[in-house]
Amino acid sequence: MLKPEQARVAVVGLGYVGLPLAAAFGKLMPTVGFDINPARVDELRAGRDCTLEVEPGALAEATQLSYSSESGDIAACNVFIVAVPTPVDRFNRPDLGPLEAACGLVGEVLGAGDVVIFESTVYPGVTEDVCVPMLESVSGLRCNRDFYAGYSPERVNPGDKQHRLTNILKVTSGSTPEAADFVDALYRKIITAGTHRVSSIRVAEAAKVIENTQRDVNIALVNELALIFNRIGIDTREVLEAAGTKWNFLPFRPGLVGGHCLGVDPYYLTHKAQEIGYHPEVILAGRRINDSMGSYVAGQVFKLMNRAQLAVCGSRVLVMGLAFKEDCPDLRNTRVIDVIRELQAYRATVDVYDPWVDPAQAQREYGIEPVAALQPGGYDAIVLAVAHRQFRELGADGVRAFGKPGSVVYDVKGILPPGAADGCL
């Protein structure tokens, strides 16, 4: 069995999860960061990270880290950490395509004694029932005889500058007790917060998928409460602040639930549940509520415009923010797009402004060309969709300045003072 000091690490997938891992290991041991996108590799070689997850200084400190989009460059490695996306398809079914492609790539260079560790979010059983057989088939080797497997779920929170890779407790597991010891010891070299070793890979997989499922369900609850309180005519934020004075009340807030985790991971768990004959009620109900919030927001904007005697058809609407969360360029699975599409369906002309996102990526993924700058006095309605720092700093007067006289403002995230917007969740 390998010892951690013998590790030559390859990190497969250099996105929000993989790059921080590669940078951390690259400070201590020989590490190759691999990505199938040559443009991403070129960017990192130039010391830039478009995800903004790793600062240029941290990249420079990873003196043992190299980057490549050529699979031959990871052949000399003996530890392979797979950190590729695990999305869902348009029917919300798990799409294991990127994970299977990574297994095929690793299997081609896998050698005796090597260890393959997975960080991608999956349902319990994927590592041992899908990934390991594929590694065996491609490599001709046998797991737990010729090579070993591990699972250590990622806990990245894009845009969060406080909770970073190294100061978040890391769950670890392995395909044998010896493999689990190795995986745990390897991660302890970079994780200052420590590790939590579990008894099996399936336990680690399950722990990861329920972390985001729990949060998704809790947000669904407060979203449903917001729907109820809106009909009653009371301020949801004030209700939640009052309830929050109790010591054990959980401080969740209503909003659009997007991103690669909360809006995706629960479907992995429900897929597995249905596969074994159990129909999950609460999880899927929460998903239905959260997936409907974009349409609800657009409907509320329409109502405000009607009350202000503003015609929706032919109107100009400004949506401020496209990223799935504040102070982050991540566009994956953003539910702001649901608001935009609903507004457009009623023949409103929608401009989108987001100083954080890459316009080319917005065009490529959603067919949206964000405006580069805003001119005052041009809009019938303004939707504050994302709580970016720049928007918070504008204040109510700054936001309203972009609207025509008599325009309406809808504050999805509640970033303006109470009463400053015409409507909010």
Kindly tell me the burial class for residue 90, based on how many C-beta atoms sit within 10 Å of its own C-beta (0-12, 13-18, 19 or more): exposed
Residue of 287, 338, 337, 259 lying closest to 85 (CA atoms)? 259
Burial letters 284-318, b for 16+ CB under 10 A, else e: bebbebbbebbebbbebbbebbeeeebebeebbbb
Rounded Cα gap, residues 404 and 397, in angstroms: 13
Token digits for 15? 């996105």
Active-site residue, selected from the candidate residues 131, 143, 261, 424: 261
The DSSP secondary structure of 334-350, one letter per residue, reads -THHHHHHHHHHTT-EE
Q: SS3 for 264?
A: coil
Give kind and range of the element (H or E) at residue 207.
helix 201-232
- The angle subtended at Cα 251 by Cα 249 and Cα 257, nearest 5°, is 135
Residues in a beta bridge with 32:
10, 66
Rounded Cα gap, residues 258 and 324, in angstroms: 5
Active site residue 328: no
- Contact at 8 Å (CB) between 236 and 226? yes
Q: Which amino acid is at 188?
A: R
Q: Residue 251, Cβ neighbours under 10 Å: how many?
A: 10
Q: SS3 for 181?
A: helix
- Contact at 8 Å (CB) between 270 and 283? yes
User: Phi, psi (5° rounding) for residue 403?
Assistant: -95, 160
- In sequence order, what are the residues at sequence separation of 6 or more whose Cβ sits closer than 8 angstroms to the Cβ of residue 277? none
Catalytic (active-site) positions: 261
